[in-house]
Structure 1
């Protein structure tokens, strides 16, 4: 009974903590063909769970290293902006390259996002690695089905893409202010909510500006090419 209660607790923790992972997987794989999309979700989810198991074994030590969370937060900001800038799927990108890029993005993002999540899971497992592995393995369907659901929502409501990027950017801000070295300095200067909010707004504004400027450049190039053809 105690084992089952602990397993149920790990499942609940994973339901709560896997939401951002499902968002990353969904955003990274949404532009792939249907068959490759499913494969990217499967491999990305498996990699996410595998990384979480490994990180749980070293999380307590790893998170004590100064600047790890701050650097991880910076990396996550780049991932959020990259996913948003690639909002419009490029048809001229080879499918194999897109597939590998999606897998790479999923693995890197989950590696960063799992650093602080694994502490909660390790605390529930209380050193029982069999219980930990079983609980995390059972969470794979949660991430897979969650990713597929988010992709369908994004296809129907493109504005959700921006919400997903905002969630990742906010997570990055929270990681940065949780760093043992830099976090206290930030807390001493700014309110706790200000840094994640500023990063989220910054990622959205810069990404929208970047996309708009590139669209204008593309339109200008197209107009010049058309003019040259006519001449």
Structure 2
């Protein structure tokens, strides 16, 4: 994919959007891991932790790109992305991040890298799908997007809180990429190219719509179940 082609920049924007939508927790982990460091070491901890996390993610995505060349694995990845997109639209549980804050710079960097590896499965699958087999595109997109997440995480979170439609767009994007992955799998792409070219235009938006509709429907059901419980808790507190 050429650097000056519109497809390249569309894919870059998709990778940045994926990292911003799915990377909020990673930013929280970085902050928690560095909270006990002396003030003058915090920036170093964040910087080297981010560098290590980017490097590790590039390695993981390299293997993901290689694995996605195996028949049917893109279809499996597409199903996982659909699930991740639907999950993104569900009400967030009240959970606390269990992250060991280190008192040493090396310890904080290790914590950031390990935590990022554990939490990045969704990012890796989504980015591998958006990159369309281009490792250079993966690296370029990550170099731009990860610093945005880390140093602009508070701004990004405020925007998401104020404009929930951004989460909806992010979930739809994951569905779009899932649709594209499913029709470009080694097992399906030849048939699609010869017998069903229209799927190149229909599958991505259809999957995006499916994620949004299912995600909103399940979220509404969950809110219906949670509502009476919250009312009961509030009533007990007032008494």
Instruction: Kindly indicate which of the two structures has a greater share of residues assigned to helix.
Output: 1
Matched residue SS, 2:120:
helix
C-alpha spacing 1:55/1:159, structure 2 compared with 1 (3 Å): closer
TM-score of the pair, normalised by structure 1: 0.64
CA distance 1:223–1:48, change in 2 (3 Å): same
Residue pairs, 1:20-169, within 5 angstroms: 20-26=17-23, 28=25, 35-36=31-32, 46-47=52-53, 49-53=55-59, 55-56=61-62, 59=65, 62-86=67-91, 89-91=92-94, 93-96=95-98, 103=116, 106-116=119-129, 117=131, 119-121=133-135, 136=139, 141-147=143-149, 148=152, 150-169=156-175
Aligned 8 A contact 1:56 1:119 in 2: no
Q: Which string of whole-angstrom CA distances, capped at 9 and with x for unpartnered residues, describes residues 111-146 of structure 1?
A: 213435273235x9xxxxxxxxxx94x865522233
Give the gaps of 5 or more residues in structure 2. Answer: 36-45, 100-110
Partners of 1:73 and 1:173 within 8 A in 2: yes
TM-score, L = length of structure 2:
0.63
Whether 1:191 and 2:191 are equivalent positions in the alignment is no
Does the residue aligned with 1:119 lie in a helix, a strand or coil?
Answer: coil
Q: Deviations over 1:141-187 (max 9, x none)?
A: 52223333543421331211111111111111111111021234455
Structure 2 residue 179 is the aligned partner of structure 1 residue 208: no
How big is the shift at 1:205?
A: 0.9
Cα distance change of structure 1 residues 224 and 151 upon mapping to structure 2, 3 Å threshold: closer
* Contact residue 27 and residue 83 of structure 1 kept, 8 A: no
Aligned residues: 203
What is the alpha-carbon root mean square deviation over aligned residues? Answer: 4.4
The offset of 1:22, in angstroms, is 1.8
